[in-house]
Amino acid sequence: MPSVSVLLAGLLLALLGVGGARADSLAAALDAAWARHPQAAALAARSDAAAARTALAAAPTAGAPSVAVGHLGDRLGRDDGRREWEIELAAPLWLPGQQAARQSEAAGAEAVIAASRAALRLHLAGRVRDAGWAVAAARAALDTAQQREASARALEAGVLRRHAAGELARIDANLAQGERLAAQADVAEAATALRAAEQTWRALTGLPAPAALDEERAADAAGDGHPELVAATAAQHAAQARLRVAEASRRDAPELALRLVRERDAAGEPWGSALGVQFKLPFASAPQARLNDAAARAELAEAAATLEQARQAVTLEVERARAELDAAVRRHDAAQMRQALAADTLRLAEKAFALGEADLSTLLRLRATALDAEAERARQRVARAAAVSRLNQALGVLP
């Protein structure tokens, strides 16, 4: 009968082999997750809308021209043949400074969308980083559990052999078998945790979990500015542009119309033509202007406050991430030294047990200490790599 660990290992390899190519780097995984993100397509559509808004702001008139056709006759009365046709072509005009304000507003909207895309991608990168290092931590735990099981099996075989030869008591054989069973249970639990982490990764990226992730290098600062700060700054500039639009649009657009009239007074008389120009200037509404200005100024104040809050949040997050990385490095170094000491002590205990100079209980205690030290070293190695990723995330640097 194959052992439980062998069956679990086979199942794990089968799960890892399902699907297409793996993303062995966080950057590749981020690209895969971005392609699946539901807001990516929405941002593309919003970019098209912003481009259309830019085209409208560059138009020669403030809106689409209109045409009107009218007819006047006396058929319901005397029916002397009086006829009149009128065609009017009208177009709304830009108010002074309004077109420039609209163009600035359209440019601001495009900048907001571009910055929002970068900020959303950074947020998604944080989720990918967390999911990737969760998989790495779970895989390290499974590796440690499998090493413990292999060691327990070897120990059990040696103890049972010496028990059969009459060198060790039955209680020692029972202890060795119990250690092996406990190790098998740890392998099963670690394999379950790894499958859960891999499912989270697959749901996010659509890819099988990688066998290993490339560790990132800690960045000093964001290369082109933190995406969240860029997005908040773009939102503030867009609010300023909307305020300028409100200030330049205190009345409805004036309208210039060209009128062509063809008419005759009675049947048989020649047709006459007349050409006219009409200019319509709507009155300004003070309450409406105040309402528009107040709304735009409130939006600008909110955007400025949001930008300042984002600056403070990014600064604090970077400080926290640097402190966590420093602590993770120290813990990793301590775990390495502890693992080396525990491994050396275990080797001495194994030699003493083989020579009959130490009992099994002492060996099992020292063996548990060594395995715990090895597991801690593996955890701290992953924790250090994850802390580097969190620092880069806080700095706004993508994988």
Residues 6+ apart with CB under 8 A from 168: 159, 162, 360
Would residue 8 count as lying in a domain? no
Task: Say what the pLDDT of residue 145 is.
Answer: 92
In a domain, 2, yes or no: no
pLDDT value of position 6 = 35
- Of residues 202, 183, 184, the one with CA closest to residue 194: 202
The pTM of the full predicted model, rounded to 2 decimals, is 0.78
Number of domains within the chain: 1
Tell whether the model's pLDDT for residue 191 goes beyond 80.
yes
Supply the range of the domain harboring residue 369: 23-395
Residue 17 lies in a domain: no
- 353 falls within a domain: yes
Q: Are 218 and 103 in contact (CB under 8 A)?
A: no
- β-pair partners for 67: 89
Q: What is the mean pLDDT of the chain?
A: 86
One-character DSSP codes across 350-380? HHHHHTTSS-HHHHHHHHHHHHHHHHHHHHH
Rounded CA separation 60/68 (Å): 20
Dihedral, 58, 64, 65, 67 alpha carbons, nearest 10 = 160
Q: What is the pLDDT of residue 12?
A: 36
Residue 84's pLDDT is what? Answer: 86
Which has more confidence, 324 or 215? 324
* Residues constituting the chain: 399
The verdict on residue 18 lying in a domain is no
Give residue-wise pLDDT tens across range 13-72: 333 333 344 456 888 999 999 988 888 878 878 888 888 888 888 888 888 889 999 888
Whether residue 231 is predicted with pLDDT greater than 70 in this model: the reply is yes
For residue 349, give the CATH number of its domain.
1.20.1600.10
In a domain, 300, yes or no: yes
Asked whether residue 7 is domain-assigned, the answer is no
Q: Is position 188 within any domain?
A: yes
Rg (CA), the chain: 38
- If DSSP states are collapsed to H, E and C, what string results for 144-162? HHHHHHHHHHHHHHHHHHH
CB-based contacts of 221: which residues, under 8 Å, 6+ apart?
395
- Looking at residue 222, its pLDDT comes to 59
Report in angstroms the alpha-carbon separations of 248 from 230, 381, 392.
27, 60, 43
Tens digit of each residue's pLDDT (9 = 90 or more) over 249-308? 888 888 899 999 888 877 778 888 889 898 888 887 788 888 888 998 999 999 999 999
- CA 341 from chain centre, in angstroms, equals 42
